[in-house]
Amino acid sequence: MIYYIVSGLLIFACTIYYWLKTKYSYWSKRGIVSPPIVPVLGNFSSVTLQKQSYFDLFTEFYNNYADQKYIGVYIGLRPTLIVRDPEVIKQILIKDFSQFQDRGVSFTDSDIEQNLFFAEADVWRVLRHRLTPIFTTGKLKTMIPLVLKSMNGLLDYADRTIGENGVMEMRSLASKYTLDVIGSCAFGVEVDAFSEKENVYREIANRMLLFDSKVAIFRFINSLFPGLLKTLGVKSAQKDIFDFFVNMVNEIVKERFGKPKVRKDFMDFMIELKEQGRVVRRGDDHEKELEITNELMAAQAFIFYLGGFETSSGTMSFLMHEISQNLDIQERLHKEISEVIERHGGVTYEAINEMRYLEMVLDETLRKYPILGVLVRQSISPYTFPNSKISLEKGTSIIIPVYALHYDPQYFPNPLEFDPERFSPENKAKLPSCVYLPFGDGPRNCIGMRFAKVQSMIGLAGFLHKYRVEPTGQTKRHLEIEPKSGTLTSKDGIWVNVKRR
């Protein structure tokens, strides 16, 4: 009896061994280098166990294989290709975009993933086509009074809370401002962002990108058995968060449906689409119809809430950190802001567009601190890279290591140095294509990029006109990345000393 048990276990072990060996020989058979693996966890054990951020891990891969255009890695059992050559990246994002329209990051059967960021090609094309008008210059201008109201709320809050020593945590401060902006501009909701009371809107925003154990388990299962969760009809790991947006959308639709659209905000626009019934995207080789349900609207609300809150608050706080360390840059910035505000009689859309140095400082902040450290794409059909023998099967995942590219001295000399002059008009024009990607590139770049920059610049202009920031005893020169966050976040916060001018 024991003999049969031992024999069975040996056969099982050998079967698993050869199965794993076959799985993990995928890239070597194609002549692509691959880092050492941990069985089952692949190359991502440190990230899966939340010991290291994916920003740091991809940078390690990028630097360790500096002579390679491609690096083959395994997320669990799933083969994934890291592309580190800008010309190949350009091929993926722009020239052959039709082959790489999907992100391939949807892994449950949840309505929340039918949003503009996660949606697969057919749904994405309809959504992108219909949502683009929200972000025209004219539409952006109509939102400026709401953004200015939030800016004044930020300044009032800072005045109330600056203590004798003036020490403040910038991420917390900036997130109050961006939460107030997105609540007002997108949903017409008073989120009470500057209150010290417990706030459900702030709680939801803080949870959205924190990878707790439940989210980590979902991602791990998907890395071992891609498509299993979707096949089983499993919903999102954070269903309660999506339910929050569904309930919010239901209330807004109930209040506004069939009535004149007064606010002209994101929800007004979505309700107008809903009133049309189905929306159609024409002009491709086929038509795609999409019914605008409350759940679909909630999915868009989720991603706009996340994008508007997270991208700008992170960028603003990292910028404050850098100028607290570089006081010469801060003084030049203050001089420009003061002169432009005086010329225009206040912060206006036109004034912001004249603040060239502020935009340079913002662009350099986005280089050092891209909020999303990677871009993800998936081949929708078999594909062979031009002038190469490298071929991809349908459904192969591709990762573009944005954070690592931004720190490559080949493109950005002395990358640890904070130097806004990299983004002067003449220097920016010299940058190779697809080495600076804070908002992606090509047809599937960030649709809200201009809005994110404008809301950040308005908040920064108002704040830095009135205050200066300096290092404190808690300020770290080089910030440690939080490994549990899906976006670039400082592990210990961003602390500065705020002083009135």
Question: Does 379 reside within a domain?
Answer: no
Q: How many CA atoms lie within 13 A of 177 on its CB side?
A: 33
* The total number of structural domains that make up the chain: 1
Question: Does 276 reside within a domain?
Answer: yes
**Domain range for 266:** 86-371+409-500
- How far apart are the C-alpha atoms of 460 and 477, rounded to whole Å? 21
Question: Does 99 reside within a domain?
Answer: yes
What pLDDT is attached to residue 345? 94
Block means of pLDDT (10 residues each) for the chain, 501 residues, are 68 67 82 86 79 91 95 89 96 95 72 81 84 85 91 93 82 93 87 81 76 61 62 64 88 85 80 76 59 86 84 95 96 97 95 97 98 93 89 93 97 97 95 96 92 96 96 83 86 92 87
13 CB neighbour count, 10 Å cutoff: 10
Of 367, 491, 456, 492, give the one whose Cα is nearest residue 177: 456
Question: Does 131 reside within a domain?
Answer: yes
- How far apart are the C-alpha atoms of 165 and 499, rounded to whole Å? 9
Question: Does 309 reside within a domain?
Answer: yes
Domain CATH number, residue 266 = 1.10.630.10
Cβ 124 vs Cβ 101: under 8 Å: yes
Residue with tokens 């980590």: 216
β-sheet bridge partners, residue 78: 75
- How far apart are the C-alpha atoms of 335 and 329, rounded to whole Å? 10
The answer to the question of whether 446 is labelled as a binding residue is yes
Provide the 8-state DSSP code for 407.
T
Question: Does 367 reside within a domain?
Answer: yes
> How far are the Cα atoms of 54, 238, 330, 369, 493 from residue 321, in angstroms, in the given order?
22, 32, 11, 11, 10
Residue 358 identity: L
What pLDDT is attached to residue 279? 62
Question: Does 384 reside within a domain?
Answer: no
Beta-carbon contacts of 142 under 8 Å, excluding residues fewer than 6 positions away, are 264
What b/e readout covers 238-253, taking b as 16+ CB neighbours within 10 angstroms?
A: beebbebbbebbeebb
Cβ 489 vs Cβ 482: under 8 Å: yes
What pLDDT is attached to residue 96? 95
Residue 114 identity: Q
Bridge-based pairing of strands 78-83 and 397-400 is parallel
What pLDDT is attached to residue 13? 66
- How far apart are the C-alpha atoms of 149 and 346, rounded to whole Å? 13
Question: Does 391 reside within a domain?
Answer: no
